[in-house]
């Protein structure tokens, strides 16, 4: 992480803080009130997705056409692991939304 430019470090820190806030607010909302499991799943899925976006900060600084055509290297994980984490967070949020609006 020491060789990252300042704006990439800033993106990583911002995404980590935002995902931590999502995680804590979802957890406290689930514990403190009678929130449903679907609300908790939405918050946790969003936190995982935002955290995974922060692990690849080049997504925010490169043009979208370039990002989609080439794979940029993430910071801590292999790109396949990062994709699985991102998709699991996204699918957890989608399943939470579906469960919330079905019941």
Q: Structurally, how many domains does the chain consist of?
A: 1
In a domain, 12, yes or no: yes
Q: How high is the pLDDT of residue 103?
A: 75
Residue 30 lies in domain = 6-102
In a domain, 46, yes or no: yes
Q: How high is the pLDDT of residue 69?
A: 64
Q: How high is the pLDDT of residue 24?
A: 94
Structure tokens at 19: 């995902």
In a domain, 66, yes or no: yes
In a domain, 25, yes or no: yes
In a domain, 69, yes or no: yes
Contact of 82 with 52, CB cutoff 8 Å: yes
CA distance 96 to 63: 31
In a domain, 56, yes or no: yes
Q: How high is the pLDDT of residue 96?
A: 93
In a domain, 22, yes or no: yes
In a domain, 1, yes or no: no
Where do the H-state alpha helices sit in the chain? 6-32, 37-54, 58-61, 64-69, 79-102
Q: How high is the pLDDT of residue 36?
A: 83
Q: How high is the pLDDT of residue 60?
A: 77
Read off the pTM: 0.81
- pLDDT < 50 stretches in the chain: none
């Amino acid at each position: 992480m020491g060789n990252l430019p300042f704006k990439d470090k800033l993106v990583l820190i911002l995404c980590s803080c935002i995902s931590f806030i999502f995680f804590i607010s979802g957890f406290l909302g689930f514990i403190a009130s009678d929130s449903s499991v679907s609300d908790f799943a939405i918050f946790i899925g969003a936190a995982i997705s935002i955290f995974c976006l922060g692990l690849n900060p080049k997504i925010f600084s490169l043009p979208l056409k370039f990002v989609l055509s080439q794979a940029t290297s993430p910071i801590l994980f292999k790109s396949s692991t990062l994709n699985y984490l991102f998709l699991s967070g996204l699918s957890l949020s989608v399943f939470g939304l579906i469960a919330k609006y079905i019941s």
